[in-house]
Structures are given as structure tokens and as C-alpha cells.
Amino acid sequence: MSKKYVFSFAEGDGKNKHLLGGKGANLCEMTQFGLNVPPGFVITTEACLEYQDLQDLPEGLIEEVKGHIKSLEKSTGKIFGGAENPLLVSVRSGSAMSMPGMMDTILNLGLNAATLPGLIAQTQNERFGYDAYRRFIQLFGKVALGVPDELFDEQFDEVKRQAGVKADIGLNAEHLQDVSERFLNVVRNHTGKPFPADVFAQLEIAIKAVFNSWMGKRAVDYRREFKITPDKANGTAVNVVTMVFGNLGYDCATGVGFTRNPATGENEMYGEYLVNAQGEDVVAGIRTPKPVHELAKEMPDLYRQLVELRDNLEGHYAEVQDYEYTIEKSVLYCLQTRNGKMNAASLVRTSVEMFNEGLITKEKALLRVQPNDLEQLLHPTLDPKHGQKPLAQGLPASPGAASGAVVFDADNAELRGRAGEKVILVREETKPEDIHGFFAAQGILTSRGGKTSHAAVVARGMGKACVAGAEGIHVDTRSRLATVGELTLREGDIITIDGGTGNVYLGEIPTIPPVFSEELKTLLGWADEVARLKVMANADTPDAARKAVEFGAVGIGLCRTERMFNASERLPLVVDMILARTVDERVEALAKLLPIQREDFKQIFTAMAPRPVTVRLLDPPMHEFLPNEHQLVEDIDAIEHYRKVVAGHIAAGGVLNRPLLGGDLTPDELNAALSKKERMLRKVRELYEVNPMLGHRGVRLGITYPEIYKMQIRGVLEATAECLQAGLDVHPEIMVPQVINVAELNRVKVWVDEISTEVEAKFGIKLNVKFGSMVETVSATVRANELATVAEFFSFGTNDLTQAALSFSREDAENKFLPLYIETGIIKDNPFEALDVNGVGPLMEIAVTKGRQSRPDLKVGICGEAGGHPESIQFCHQIGLTYVSCSGPRVPVARLAAAHATLLEK
Amino acid sequence: MSKKYVFSFAEGDGKNKHLLGGKGANLCEMTQFGLNVPPGFVITTEACLEYQDLQDLPEGLIEEVKGHIKSLEKSTGKIFGGAENPLLVSVRSGSAMSMPGMMDTILNLGLNAATLPGLIAQTQNERFGYDAYRRFIQLFGKVALGVPDELFDEQFDEVKRQAGVKADIGLNAEHLQDVSERFLNVVRNHTGKPFPADVFAQLEIAIKAVFNSWMGKRAVDYRREFKITPDKANGTAVNVVTMVFGNLGYDCATGVGFTRNPATGENEMYGEYLVNAQGEDVVAGIRTPKPVHELAKEMPDLYRQLVELRDNLEGHYAEVQDYEYTIEKSVLYCLQTRNGKMNAASLVRTSVEMFNEGLITKEKALLRVQPNDLEQLLHPTLDPKHGQKPLAQGLPASPGAASGAVVFDADNAELRGRAGEKVILVREETKPEDIHGFFAAQGILTSRGGKTSHAAVVARGMGKACVAGAEGIHVDTRSRLATVGELTLREGDIITIDGGTGNVYLGEIPTIPPVFSEELKTLLGWADEVARLKVMANADTPDAARKAVEFGAVGIGLCRTERMFNASERLPLVVDMILARTVDERVEALAKLLPIQREDFKQIFTAMAPRPVTVRLLDPPMHEFLPNEHQLVEDIDAIEHYRKVVAGHIAAGGVLNRPLLGGDLTPDELNAALSKKERMLRKVRELYEVNPMLGHRGVRLGITYPEIYKMQIRGVLEATAECLQAGLDVHPEIMVPQVINVAELNRVKVWVDEISTEVEAKFGIKLNVKFGSMVETVSATVRANELATVAEFFSFGTNDLTQAALSFSREDAENKFLPLYIETGIIKDNPFEALDVNGVGPLMEIAVTKGRQSRPDLKVGICGEAGGHPESIQFCHQIGLTYVSCSGPRVPVARLAAAHATLLEK
């Protein structure tokens, strides 16, 4: 028996998209579970593949097709090529995956000079008949015969000109008859043959055209580009469907609908329709469609049928559907359905409600929502209806939208911010000394720097909106203005930034506040039940800690102590510590910092109790706390100049006028200021490093200046003791950064033990502080077995580890070669956003394996940027990590991703 | 039966140093193989340990000692404590390893008021008797009884004053008798007890004193410091030896000797002796000893005995011996022997000759010479007799000694160098633009930078002497002078630098030229037979290639193409290439470089034929070829100033006077110069990188600017074709730096294939160029299986790999925390000199294993600095590398180290 190439909708396997294509399978599926689909059949992808081999239709195919046409004639009572009641069909392509470059749909196939009168007679509408005819000739001519569209358009324009009308609607039946005849001539002239009148010839040509389009250049390129390999889609099927018309009168209509409201997720009838219209009229926007509720009044019975259709669709697909239908002479046909695209809020709401309604399982409810989609729910976003064009574009460095007055320095930001004004801090780039401006501002905009610039990192940590590296904006801090092309922004001008897109707008644009809905809480609760990975937050302040709890973090996986150093009233103490000429001077400066850090720790521990808090000892190199060399040289020049002015003023008998702090300074005061700046400059030069990423930082700094780490350790331990004494169940952990071997850990551990003993004696209390190591150098990964003899936990710093594994400096890579690398496919994703599982992943696996060789119950987490990235979280799950830690607003994303990791494993 | 604590020299096991100590075992050994050693015995280290536990001598020990004294009495015919012919002994400590802080030797034990007359009677020498007695009292008093030396010295000085003499030699027997009596009083007064007269009491006190010295503070500290654990030495033995005297008359003598000349290695009698003298007289230098050859005339029979002794020693120990002997009344006693310390040249010569004489095996001959010792043979060194004090000290950055006139810039170095003058280039630090000065100079001295500074690396590559970072020298290039403290060095002053020690001297100091002796060639030939690892050289020029062959390299493992860019006539072309505004401009600039590189390759391939040459494509970032920002800003200021001067000159009616190139320039020429400098400055700023180590370099640069790599590939391939056409058997290999994944390799491989096809067609020849990858990123190690699908060989770049594995920037680490890390033992060695086998080693192992999974015959080498480091070479051998590649002068070191690796494996 020969192979079966053709399946009617009643017999095709709705699950077999590979054989029948997506559309064909779906039409079979809908037909078989009882929806009223216009009858039709599918020619398989196998036939397509054989066609490619043979360069001809496989034997027997046309006979099979003819048999199925016979069946269509039987079920519709129409005759294909019949003069009285002609059967018309549509012919369309459909492979397992949708792709551009495939053939457009041919409608109304089956029309010719003989059948046209039958259609006109049946529809009682001459204009409709000729209109259908000329459309068919053009579409078939173009798609199946390769006649250029322009040749048809020329003729059509000519008729319109002769008729003196501008739009198609002005043409009557006669005009359209003229058009049809001209079109037939176009085809004859171009192809050298008359337009095929025989309907089976039409059908055969159309089928071949569909098959040919599979190997067309555009389709082949597309499959190569998007790696659509034969296992995903191999060949296209051909769908032949009986035409139904929504434009045959006022008992006809056509419409589109969602089974639930895609904007809100509400479980209600949703959609639009047009009476006496074709599907393309709804799309074209010539007439305004009506909301579906009006159909209830206009055609109550059909509305009931439509509600039933909707229920059937959801009941069957267990997913919100986006569907199309046509009503022909009071009969409702379902033409198409597919999964509905929704925003995150709707996805979350429908997930929870569909589970509650018993439509889907919890697993399905969780898997329907992509973790990354949640992020848009957690920041204010621009009202999508604003319609404004951006002034400039930078990098989307920290999500959220914010509006405010432009300010060009941190002091001013603080001043205006305290006065209650909303401000956006606009800088060329930011430095730690700007940090008080961050606290005061709604958002940060810089004209230089990437997603890892100071501005970006700090803003993300604070959950503030940030657009970085908007190179089109030229910031002139001295003149206190910025220019964008011809436009000048002055201090106080209102702008809006969108940290989710990187866009910058002039003026205030309304924002939509974030929603942490009950449904989202429910869904994330389910995620936590499923997930094996715990989710912690990176948080450096008591405020961030409280937010982390709100976001559902089960602890703080990374508390960066250097962030505490940056606050404006603390920075001078840190600078004194750095400028210290002796150990004693340094100890003295540190003694002033101790109570401040201890108080921070107390508040953070308290906010998190009884959850663990992992405190990382100082990591960055000291020069990060000082202004840059350039700035200092300028400051010194300025002071020296001012000193001359003051001296001249005094020499000329002037008096000093100091109504305000910051007014005139005496020569002595100026000398002191100058001397301090000069010391800072010397220190900056002394601290200069060729490769600061790989320089004097982390534990290397801690071991060189033990006073610093000892102060921080004391701060943690005393804060713990005070909390415990107050009856709080706190669980602090001390973590050492940049470790390469266990000797470093041992060195720091001795200090922890010594100070512990001291604090325990002083408070008469037993401390419960854990001790662990960052794993962010490659050496630490291969020596993890040694480290785990001392470390009670590990935390991967994937940012640093990635830089070390790839020998990429992130700041340099993102500005220089990384875009080209990603574009040309040398690497798949930016490895600083998505963990490089091939280059970095193996090191993490080694560390986990070796670490647990020494300490089987070793807690292992990750606190780099990848900790909030869903694919990376899946990898962390696979290699057996205990937790991931990410910035607060990414916590919900990570919780869902952790659940997905478990579910996808099965 | 109780434990045996005491062994006579005739019965102790000469191999058991752990039990008998080094000296004791050696005395037993010598006695037993027939040398005439004065009779004596050893008290074991076990006795010492029991003494530490008991805080008393173990039971039975003294009885055993007494039994052995009896045996001594029997064999010598003398009586311990006897009045007529008293037996005197020496008592000395001796553990398994020699260490300071142990007890000094006590001589003449057994003397007291009763035995002294017997000694005098036996020797017929009253002065000798009292001299021996007063020496014994002082030594015993100090060493065994803890009486301060000063108390004795005071008395001794008093007697000398009274006698009116300055030196001991002026004192007669009576004076010395007075001294002895005064010394006895000193002991009585200080200890409150009379000096022990009983000879067995003396012996017991002396034994306890030796045992106590084992736990003395100095000894304990020393053992802790140098990690002498109990398995290496546990407790000290006590050696009790019959005294023999070389100062009893003219039939007595004492001497020291080497079995071969330790300065030249020549196989001859070597040493000095004194007739009628004690051992300490030879050392003290009061009398001038005679060369041993004179003994042949003076005591022909004893000279023959000495020759026999020498032959016996070498025959037994199969090693050059450093020995001591005494002739007492025409009887030759051997008192001590140990392996002789020799310089590298002598070690090499004796190794070869001792093998030829059948004394040692080839294995032993190879293992006797430490690889690092060879380095001193391969560079000129300062004449050790110069005796000058250094002017300043820097880091020993590139070995060798060199003298020459100080010059402060490269142009001047070139000018003077071409004129035939020897010059030393003295700079604060060097840059690539100074490279022509390197070629012209004998050596390089910088006041800043470490062993990895530009100056150090380039000088090592060229095999030129370099002292770097001599911070005591302040270089003022503008004033063309340098100051060292109060001294000023002007251009033209002669200095000498020693790159092996880092010392800098004023004036010219004679140097000793390097010797690549026949013996060394023989030894290295043996090494090559034994070694599994091949040794290649890093060489960048035809000249260096020729030297590499002389040093015995079997190929070039690293030819750095960027070095070729640095020559003074080429740098402007490279700068044009960098400043190119379009691809076309860049291609044009590269086209000028192509013939130059091709010619270099031809010469190098020719020099090395038929050995392989591995050419590494461009590695450093482009900004390394440009002057630094600071310099450019200064240059621009200077040109602008000069432009004004010239404009003024012209306005005032002056004419331009340009007798020489570099004389006055026209305003147009100045404008052109200014414009070029400004373009360079903009480019330098554009190319600025935060972490250049991890920046836009290596294959990342090659992929961003394909023109550069394509030019280099074409250079290699065309050079190969021309060589092959000329009938040369050349084997070039192309190597890609900084690779992280196989996609990068594939990209470059396509270019190699394309250009190969083109060149093969043009020349009508088949090329045989291999294609490989540097493995210097961590990602490359963990993805080595992928890389090896394309790469035919790997070469580890351990400098970069170490930086990445440890997250240490070498330049920063060596200036900041690395010294402290090494000093406190956090890391053992500088990981940039000796491979870090724990932190970096595992990555190399992973790469070798994974690479050979994909390509079992994969050639794997190393071309980082560790490639010339013996311990690192041993590791490379262990993990199965194919070859190491190092700088030319390290090649002999590496060849020997490779042989050692094989031998030590057994």
C-alpha cells in the first residue's frame, strides 16, 4: 500500500505537529474535540520532503487530494469547479514551527470564469464576487506564479484613476470586473500563459508553490540563523480549508477574542467583532470593531455559542487562548486558536485562578510564568500609553522608571532631595563620594560607563532606577548644564528615565507603581514549596534588609561592608584611615568607624532575625574611597588660586567675610585644606594599580592591614552579642573575599577566634557566628578541599570568577570587544549577565565537589550577578548549590526560577 | 638487656646518621673502610632524647662510656686521668643535620693538675702543655659551665699587659701557667665551685652540656625556622675522640684538602698544610700555610700516604671530598671529611671526568649538578676579586654583568652605540619606543619597576643584563643626570651593573666571560639522552634564534611577533596602523609591515631549520605601541610653544635655518607634527583600559581587527613558501594567544586556510604549517577538549594563567602584598617565578587530560617564565608535557632540569 500523504481534519493526529505542521495539527485537534471548523485536509510534511527529493509531487498525492476534495464536496454540498454552488478553498503553508519566508495564504481558490457566476448567484452580491475574484487572481499570480505585485498595482491604480476614486471602496462591481480582466492579462503577459482556469490545476500549482517556499532563500536563511534543525521542523505541510465568509450579509460576522482579559488576567469574555465583514477588515482598521459584549445583544444565540466555544477552548487546552472565528449565515466557525500572549500580571493572575478552577496543576501554574517576566512587576514602569519619543538612550542599568529635576552633583541632590523635591542625579560618571546623592535621588543618569559602572552597581543595590552610558548626553558639570544634540538641559529641568529600557525623556511621564499582588504571593509560595535552592538577597543597609524580607528572601547572602563606608558622614573617617601614616593613626581612625558599623550590623541582624546574614569583610581596593587623581589636581589648583586671591585681599586691607560655612577661609584654613588634598594626591599615586581588578584588595588588603578586618570582625561580633543579649535569634556569618588558599583563611580565623573569646567573656554569652569563604578566584575553586577544612560555607562570586576564567575585564570587555563577540556568536550571552556554564561552570562544579569532600554538609551559595538570572539559577540547582543570593527585586524572579529548576529536572 | 647507647667507631653503622649524627656516622664509616681515624666512640641521639625526657642521663650510659674509655686506653696505650701518659679526648655534638646553636667542640678533655705533667713529659714541651691546659679550662668553662668569655679574656689581657706583650705568641710557659691558674679561679669564683678535676666528671658534664644544647633557644628557633622536623633530625649525638696533635714537633703537621681543585675541577692534589701546628692555626692565618705539593718534598712518605688517603676518600664516597688531617709524629690521621662545595664550572668538569674515570654513573653525574647553577656559566660575571662596594641595589632582573657609559635615552644610546661605545641605558622606566636603545646598550638600569617591568622582560628576551627598580637612584632625564644620595651621575660616566645580584657599581669592573665548555656540552648531551621533555627557546629575532641553537634548543617554542613591531624604523608604521581611521587605511599601513615581518620570519625559519618555530600572533593591546598620555600632553605643549617661537621668528623677519634634519621646522611641518601627536593622544584616550591585563588583546584584538592577523598569517605562510622553495626544511607553527573557546580558533583557522590556499597556488607548493593555541586563560583549560579539535598543539602561558588563577596582577602584587605573603608563608614562592602547582597546576593537568581526550597525540608545551624554572619543569614532566620553552640562556638549565625530572621520578 502506498504512503498516506493527506489527512482530513477529522482523522489527523492533533499532537503530531511534526507531520501535520502546527496549523494543520491544530485544525485537526479542534475538529476532533467538537469545534465547528470549516472542513478541510492537511498534506503532510513528508510529502513536502519527498517533493524536495523528486522535484515533483509524489506519486498518488494528487489522487489522494482529489479524494479529499470529493469528501469536502459531500460535506458542504458544494462542487469544486462547479458553476452553481462552487466550492472555494484557502491554501496555506504550516510547518512545525512558525517562520517567516513561507508562502502567504491563497484565498478563494477555485474561482474562474465558470464558477464566478455561481458565487455571485449564491451570495446575491456581484461586487463581492468580482472583488473575491480579483483578489484571488492577484494573490495566486503573485504567490504561486511569481508575478510582481507592482504589475497588478499599476493596473489597479489605472482603474481607480479612470474611475476618479481614491480608495478601493469607491469602486463598484463593474470597475472590479475590469480589474479582474486586466489582472488576467497581467498574468498572461508576464507568464506567457493564460491564468489557469482549471481548479485542480490551480490547486496543484498552489501545493507545489507551498512546497517550493520551504527551500526559498529567506526560509533557509531563517532556519540557519535560528538553528531550526530538522528535529524541530522538517518540511511544511499544506492546509486546504473550505472558505467561509463573514461578509455575506448581516447574519455574518468575523471576530477575534481572548479566553481571558490579557491585560488584567480577569476571567471574562474578551474580544472584538465586525458584522458583515472579512477577517482582514478587523485588522485593517477601516471599520471600528465592537466589543464582544455587544454581540450578546446583536446575536444572542451566537453569543451563547461563542461563550461555549471559549469554554471548550480553555477546557481543552488548559491555557488562555487567542482565537479567531467567523459567522457565516448564523453559523459559527472557529478558524484558528493559539496560546494567548499576556503581560506578567495577567500571567500570574491566570495561573493562580486556573489552578483554583481546577484547570491546571500547580506545576503547570508555575511553569506558565517565566521568571524574568516578574521583574516588570517589581519596579514602577512608564505608563505604556505615554507615546513620547526618547531624548536619548543609554544602557538599562537598573530597572524602574523615575522622574525628577536634573541636578549635576550629589550635594545639590541632597539639598533639593531633603527639601522634598524629586531629583535625577546626572553625572558624566559617579564615584563613591557621590553616594549621598544616590540616597537623595529618584534615579541616576550617567553619560559614561556600562552596566557595571559604579552608578549601575550602586543603583541596582539600592533598587533605584539608573540609565548609564547615555553617550548622546554631554554633561558639563562646571557650567551646570547638559546638551543633547541642540537641546540644553539646565539644573531643575524635569526629565524621566526608564531603567528598564535605557530611554531618557524630557518632562515628566506618568508611571505605573509596582504590584506585589496576592496572586503573586500565592504563586511564589508554591514556588518555595517546590524549589530545592533557597533564595537570599544581597543587601547592605537595614532598609534594604527589610525590603529583602518583603521580597521573600530567607536571609542575606551578601552584605557588603564597604557600602557602609560610603555614606557621606563616614567617608571622611575612611579617608583618615587610608591616609594614616602609622598603625596607631589607622587604629584611631578605625575606632571611630567601629560604633557606626556595629550599629549597622545590629539593625540589619534585627531586621533579618531569625534569618542568617552573611557579612563580607572589606573587598575593594583602598583607592576606590579616594577621589581620582585628576580631580585632586584640579582641587589643589583651585585652592592655590583661591589662596592667592585671599592673600591679595588681605594685603589690600580687606577683611574676611564668612557668613556661611564654606564662605571665605583664613589663610591657615586654606593651608590645612591644601595639605590634606596634597596628602590625598600622594596616597592616590602611591595606591595606583595597573590592573585594579587583580590588585591589592579583599583578603590581601585584610592581611596587609589587619586593623581593618579586626575592626569589622569586632563590629559583627559585638553587634551579635548585643542582639543575643536582647533575646533576638540572630545568625550572622563572616565571609572573607578574594581568597586563594587556606592559609589566608586561617590567618583571618585566628582573629575571629581571638575577638570571639574576648567578646564572649565581656558579654558572658556564647556566640554562634559562622565563618566562610568567597569562592571568586580560580585558585579557590581548585583548592576548595583545603578551604573547606576551615570554611563552614562557600559563596561563589561569579562576577570576579568570570573575569578570571575568561581573562575579560568586564568594564573593558563591554566597551570593546564583547558586543562583537556576542553578535558573531563567538559567545552566546554576555557572561556577566548569564553564567558561562562552559567556561566558568566547570570551576564551580570542581569547587562544590572538592569542598564537600572535606565537609559533606558544606553550605554553598552564589552571590554574584548570576544569582538572579534564571538560566544560571538552573545551573546552580544542577550542580547542587544550597542557595542563590541576588538583589532584592530579583528575589521573586529567583524564587520562581528555583522552582522551575526543580520542575524542569523531572 | 638494656639499650646500647654507645658505639665505637669500629662498630657504628656509617649509614645511620639519624642515630649517630652526621659526624659520628662519618667517623665510623671512615674507620671501617680503613682510614686511620683517631679511635673514639659515639653516644647516640636516642640517649639524647631520653635525656630530654628524664632530665638526666639514662641508666647505664656512664658505665657504657667507661667501658669505651677502657677500649681507647687499650688501643692508644694511654690512660684517661693517668699521670704518665694521659689520654685526652675531644667532645663534640653532631646531629643528623648540621645546625648552628649547637655546642662548640671541647678539646683536650682529660687535663687536670695531675695529668698535665704527664702531657708535658710526653711532649717534652712545657709551653705546649700549659697552652693546652689554659685553652681547655676556658673552653670547658665557657661551653660546659656557662662562664662568660669576657671573664677569661680580662685575665688573659692582664697577664699580657704584665708581660708587656701584645700577642699570645709572646707568652712563655710561665705566663701560660699563670693564665691557667687565673682561669681556674675565674671558674671557682663564677660557679662557686672548683673546676672539676676528676676526668670522668669532666666527661659527664661535657656530655650533658651537649645534650642540653639540643634544646637551647637558638637551636630550637633554628629548627622551627628551617622546618627541621624530627624525621630529619631528632636529638644530637656526642662524639668522643682521642686527641691527636700536629704541633708536637717537626714530624707533626696539620692540613686541609680537596680531593680535586674546587675552583677548576681539575683532578689534582689540592690543599694546604702547616708543619708543627694545630688545625686552628691553619684557619687563624697567623702562619702562612704551604701548598700541599711542598709536602712531597718535606715528608715524601707522608705525601704518598696523603695521596692514598685522597684516593680512598674519592673511591669510597664517589664525590669530591673536603677533608682535614693531622700528622702526629709521622702518623697520618684523617679527622674529618665531607662533600666539597664547588662552583658550577668545577661541578660540571668533575661530573664528566668522574664518569669517565668510572667513579660515578651518568645518572649521578647529572644529578650532582643543580640546574640553576648552570646559569652563572652562561653570562659574563663580575670578577669575584673586584672587592668594590655597590653604589646602589635594584632587582636582579636579567642576569649578566655589563659596564658602559651612562646614557639617559634610547636615541643617544643608539648614537653612541653605533659609534662603538659601550653604554648602559639608564631610565626611570622603559617603554616600547625605547627598544632601539636596548639593541645598542650593553645593559639596562631602571629606577622603577619590578622583575616583570618592560625593561626586565625585554632585556631577558634579548639576554642583556638588567637591573630594575633601583629605587636609590633618582633619574632626571630632562637634566640628563641621576643622583644616588650625594653622588651625581652624568651622561658618559662609567658604571657597571650586575644583573645576577642587582648591584650597581661606579666605574668599570672587570668581568669574566661565560664558558660553554666541552664538559658542559657533554653533560647536556647526556641530559638530552635521559630527558623525556624537549627544551625549546623563546626567541623573537634571527639573532636570538641562532643563539637558541647554540644553547641546544630543539626549536622555538615562542616567537613573539610584537617584538618585531618595536624596532625603531617599524614603530611609525605600527602607529599609522593604529591611528587608521578606516579599514582601508589600516590595510595600507599593514601592507608596509608585511614584507618586514616576512623577511624576519624567513631569517628565523632559516636559522632554525629543520627545527620547528612557533609564531605567536599579536598579543599585547594596541596602546602598548603608543607613548603614554602624560608624554603626549608634554610633547604637544612643547610643539605649541615652539610653534609660537618660530612664528615670532618669522614675523620678525628671521629665516629658517635647517642644516640638519631635526633643525628648524616650517610652520606647516609643525602643524603636521602637532596634528599627529593630537591624533595619538585621542587614540591613547580611546584605547584606555581599566585592567589592561584582561583587556582588548590577543585573539580578541585579532578578531576585532582581522587585517592584523591576516597580515601576520600571510607573513608566516609566504616566508614558509619561500624557504621551502629554496629547499630548506622548515617547520613553522602558528599560535593564537588569549583563546577562551574554540569559536575563536575556528575564526582564525579560516583565515589560515584561505591564505594557505592562496599562497600554495601562487608558489605551487604544499605548505606544512601547524596551527595551535596558547592555553593561558582558565576557560581554555576547562574547554581544552573543544580547543584540541582544532588546535594541533597547546602552549601554556603560565604568566597569564597564574595571574588569572590567583587574581593577582603581577605588577601590582610584586609591589604591594606579595613580599608579605611570601615572608609570612601564606604562599611559598613567588608564583611568577616558580609555578604554583596547587593553584595553577590542577588547571594545567585538566587541560592536558581534556586536550588529549580529543587528540591523543596533542603536543603540549609551556612558554611562560616557569618554562625555565627547574621545579616547575619537574612538574611539567610529571603531568606529561611534550616540551618546555624558555629564554635562550635558560635552555641549558632547562635541559638539565628535564633530565633531573626523569631521574628523580625513579
Confidence grade of residue A452 (pLDDT, cut at 50, 70, 90): low
Specify the pLDDT at position B605: 97
- State pLDDT tens for residues B167-224: 777 889 999 999 999 999 999 999 999 999 999 999 999 999 999 989 888 788 878 7
pLDDT tens string B291-341:
999 999 999 999 999 999 999 999 999 999 989 999 999 999 999 888 888
Peptide bond into A610 cis (omega under 30): yes
Q: For A615-661, how does the pLDDT look when each residue is reduced to its tens digit (9 = 90+)?
A: 999 999 988 888 888 888 888 888 888 888 778 878 887 776 654 33
State the pLDDT at residue B663.
54
Give yes or no: A454 in active site: yes
Please report residues of B whose CB lies closer than 8 A to that of A778: 778, 804-807, 839, 843
Any bridge partners for residue A473, and if so which? A484
Higher pLDDT, B865 or A394: A394
Cα A838 from Cα A271, distance rounded (Å): 47
CB-nearest to B778 from A693, A747, A804 is A804
pLDDT number for residue A644:
82
- Give the range among A334-338, A418-422, A768-772, B145-149 with minimum mean pLDDT: A418-422
Torsion of CA B52, B56, B59, B65, to 10 degrees: 90
A783: cell is 583548592
Distance to chain B for A602, nearest Cα, Å = 33
Is residue A785 over pLDDT 50?
Answer: yes
**B556, pLDDT greater than 90:** yes
Alpha helices in A271-409, H assignment, sequence order: 279-284, 295-298, 300-317, 344-356, 362-367
Catalytic residue among A466, A863, A876, A886: A863
pLDDT at A271 over 50: yes
Contact across the interface for A690 and B807, Cβ inside 8 Å: no
Q: Does the beta-carbon distance from B842 to A807 stay under 8 Å?
A: no
- Does pLDDT of B863 surpass 90? yes
Looking at the complex, report in whole angstroms how far the Cα of residue A880 sits from the nearest Cα belonging to chain B: 20
For testing contact with chain A, the best of B457, B622, B624, B691 (most A CBs within 10 A) = B691
Residue A817 to residue B690, Cβ atoms within 8 A: no
Share the mean pLDDT of chain A. Answer: 90
> What pLDDT digit, counting tens, does each position of B829-842 carry?
889 989 999 999 99
**% of residues, chain B, pLDDT over 70:** 97
Contact pairs from chain A to chain B, CB under 8 Å:
181
Q: pLDDT, tens digit, for every residue of A522-570? A: 999 999 999 999 999 999 999 999 999 999 999 999 999 987 787 777 8
In this prediction, residue B268 carries a pLDDT of 93
Q: Which residue of B has its CA nearest to A842?
A: B782
Strand order in the sheet with B89-95: B6-8, B40-43, B236-242, B89-95, B106-109
Could B805 and A778 be called an inter-chain contact, meaning their C-beta atoms sit closer than 8 Å?
Answer: yes
To the nearest whole Å, the CA of B534 is away from the closest chain A CA by: 28
Specify the pLDDT at position A351.
97
pLDDT over 60 at A583, yes or no:
yes
Instruction: Give the three-class secondary structure for A629.
Output: helix
pLDDT band for position A2 (50/70/90)?
low
Whole-angstrom CA distances from B444 to A182, A861, B178 are: 90, 50, 64
Using CA atoms, how far apart are residues A493 and A473, in angstroms rounded to an integer? 14
Do residues B504 and B495 touch, judged by C-beta distance below 8 A? yes
Q: Is the predicted pLDDT of residue A444 greater than 60, yes or no?
A: yes
Tell me whether residues A691 and B694 touch, CB distance under 8 A.
yes
pLDDT, tens digit, 9 for 90 and up, residues A89-131:
999 998 888 776 667 789 999 999 999 999 999 888 899 899 9
Dihedral, CA atoms, B121, B124, B125, B129, nearest 10 degrees? -20
**Where does the pLDDT of residue A662 fall: very low under 50, low under 70, confident under 90, or very high at 90 and above?**
very low
In B, minimum Cα distance to A744 occurs at B826
Question: What does the pLDDT read at residue A637?
Answer: 86
User: Longest C-alpha distance within chain A, in Å?
Assistant: 118
pLDDT tens digits for A123-163?
Answer: 888 998 999 999 999 999 998 999 998 999 999 999 999 99
Burial of B556 (0-12, 13-18, 19+ CB in 10 A): buried
Q: Do residue B692 and residue A691 have CB atoms under 8 angstroms apart?
A: yes
Active-site residue, A190 included? no
pLDDT-derived band at B89 (thresholds 50, 70, 90) equals very high
| Confidence band of B282 (pLDDT split at 50, 70, 90) | low
For A843, the closest chain B residue by CA position comes to B782
Contacts of the segment A47-53: beta carbons below 8 A, 24+ positions apart: A47/A5, A47/A6, A47/A211, A47/A235, A47/A238, A48/A210, A48/A211, A48/A214, A48/A235, A48/A236, A48/A237, A48/A238, A49/A234, A49/A235, A51/A208, A51/A211, A52/A211, A52/A214, A52/A215, A52/A235
Model confidence at B649, pLDDT cuts 50, 70, 90, reads confident
Cα B306 to chain centroid distance, Å, stands at 35
Using the beta-carbon criterion (under 8 Å), do B804 and A807 form an inter-chain contact?
yes
> What is the model's pLDDT at position B664?
65
Q: Evaluate whether A280 touches A335 at the Cβ level (below 8 Å).
A: no
Contacts of A741 in chain B (CB under 8 A): 826-827, 838-839
Residues of A in Cβ contact (< 8 Å) with B689: 809, 812, 816
User: Among residues A454, A869, A877, A900, which one is catalytic?
Assistant: A454
Which pTM value belongs to this model?
0.79
DSSP secondary structure letter of residue A79: B
- Known catalytic residues of B? 454, 863
Q: How confident is the model at residue B659 (pLDDT cuts 50, 70, 90)?
A: very low
Q: What are the tens digits of pLDDT across the range B688-723?
A: 888 888 889 999 999 999 999 999 999 999 999 999
Mean pLDDT for B123-137 is 92
- A744 CA: distance to closest CA in chain B (Å): 6
| Mean pLDDT, chain B, integer | 90
| Residues with Cβ within 8 Å of residue A315, at least 6 apart in sequence | A359
Kindly determine whether residue B826 and residue A783, on different chains, have CB atoms separated by under 8 Å: no
Q: Looking at per-residue confidence, does B794 or B820 come out higher?
A: B794
Chain B residues touching A839 at Cβ < 8 A? 740-741, 778-779, 782-783
pLDDT at A667: 78
What per-residue confidence (pLDDT) applies to B829? 87
ipTM: 0.78
pLDDT for A168 equals 77
Record the cell numbers describing residue B513, joined without a space.
Answer: 666571560
Q: What is the DSSP string of B391-416?
A: SEE-EEEE--EEEEEEESSHHHHHHH
- Residue A460, pLDDT > 80, answer no
Instruction: Pick A783's closest partner by Cβ from B695, B701, B839.
Output: B839
CA distance A819 to chain B (A): 10
Query: Cβ–Cβ of A778/B843 closer than 8 Å?
Result: yes
Among the partner-chain residues A693, A701, A741, the one whose CB lies closest to the CB of B827 is A741
Q: How far is A777 from chain B (nearest CA, A)?
A: 6
Signed CA dihedral, A281, A282, A285, A286: sign only: positive
Q: Do A695 and B812 touch (CB under 8 A)?
A: yes
CB spacing of B778 vs A779 below 8 angstroms: no
Q: What percent of chain A lies above the pLDDT cut of 70? A: 97
> For position A166, what pLDDT does the model report?
81
The strand pair at B321-328 and B253-258 is best described as antiparallel
Among A94, A113, A110, A307, residue whose Cα is nearest residue A213: A94
Of A700, A806, A820, the CB nearest to B779: A806
